[in-house]
Amino acid sequence: MIDGVLFSHWDRWLLRLALDEPEGLRSIVAGFRRRARRPGRTDLVAEAMLAQLADLDARLAMVGRLPRDVLNDVERTSRWLHDKAFRRVWHAKRVRHTEAMTRTPRNVLEARAREGNWAAFPLSPAPYFARLRATYRDLYADHRGVGLVVLLLRLEGEKLLAAAASDLERLAVRRAIVGAAIEAMAHVDDSGNELGRHFRDEEHAYLDLVQNDLERPGILRDLLELATWEDYGLFHHLDSFLTRLPESAADLAVRELARIIAELRVANLEYQRDKARRLRSSVLQSAARLEADAVGRIG
């Protein structure tokens, strides 16, 4: 600990390696960025290391120290420590995550897409989502039991909708239903697509309701981020919904997607960025249709 700031064993390994690099920690960052950009399977270790390095850099700035200042004389000269650090850092296939390692851009952005935009809703979906999630949270259902999970979700959703006292509350409930169905995919074997069909029914209902609130700050952003990060291929009606947006909503969607795409580019999350680009293509179809209609009216 230095000036009340903790440094872990991972920090000391990274700092020891940095002493032998031409640009110190920057060289290590560059190496892991190259690994993270390689095509093929996602390198979760590289992403975790980059998150640790970013956090380490911030803590060094807090205490106003250079990498060599955090290590003692023995650590700075130890070949044994260097070799151990080299093996643990560059050859790790799995790592026991520090808190900093869990804050990868992937984890942070996905968590925001799932639940992080709910403050934009006039009524938060959170309490309704908690009730829906409670129906399956401690379960794992194989293909024979997925129908029960769908039934429980449907019954709880119907109860929540029946008790809703306004369209704003129904909007929150519908958003919670959609989110709970996505999360439930991790709890079932949906090889028969029962949960997928349930999601598409609820997706359609949500899109019908949300279209009246698209220009409320944050609502459209929430929908677009959720679709960008939903990784089970559940969305079925969204593309056609986006191609029918009115002009003001289409303009807003293009601006929101530009921000989402830029953020994903910086985070080097190519798969999600490609999904966001496809959503933008659907929105641009709406803009092209509106432009053609306007030209037709003038003509």
In a domain, 23, yes or no: yes
In contact, 235 and 72? CB cutoff 8 Å: no
Residue 135 phi/psi, 5-degree rounding, is -70, -20
For the segment 58-68, the average pLDDT, to the nearest whole number, is 91
- 253 and 136 within one domain: yes
Question: pLDDT tens digit string along 1-53?
Answer: 788 888 999 999 999 999 999 999 999 999 999 999 888 888 999 999 999 99
Q: pTM for the whole thing?
A: 0.86
For the segment 259-264, the average pLDDT, to the nearest whole number, is 97
Q: In whole numbers, what is the pLDDT of the chain averaged over residues?
A: 92
pLDDT at 291 over 70: no
In a domain, 4, yes or no: no
Q: For residue 245, what are the contacts with CB-CB under 8 A and spacing of at least 6?
A: 214, 253, 283, 286
Give the distance, in angstroms, between the CA of residue 254 and the centroid of all CA atoms in the same chain.
19
- 116 and 27 within one domain: no
- 94 and 110 within one domain: no
Q: What is the pLDDT of residue 131?
A: 97
- 98 and 116 within one domain: no
**Domain end marker among 103, 121, 154:** 103
- 115 and 90 within one domain: no
- 229 and 174 within one domain: yes
- 112 and 237 within one domain: yes
- Opening angle at CA 207, ends 204 and 211, nearest 5: 150
Q: For residue 12, what are the contacts with CB-CB under 8 A and spacing of at least 6?
A: 70, 71, 75, 81, 85
How far from each other are the two terminal CA atoms of the chain, in whole angstroms? 74
- Show the domain range for 35: 9-103
**Domain end marker among 85, 103, 121:** 103
Packing angle, helices 270-298 and 247-266, rounded to 10: 160
- 48 and 91 within one domain: yes
Q: What is the pLDDT of residue 196?
A: 96
pLDDT at 296 over 70: no
In a domain, 3, yes or no: no
pLDDT at 299 over 60: no
- 34 and 154 within one domain: no
- 235 and 189 within one domain: yes
Among 229, 204, 192, 256, which Cα is nearest to 108's?
A: 229
Tokens 């799995």 belong to which residue? 94
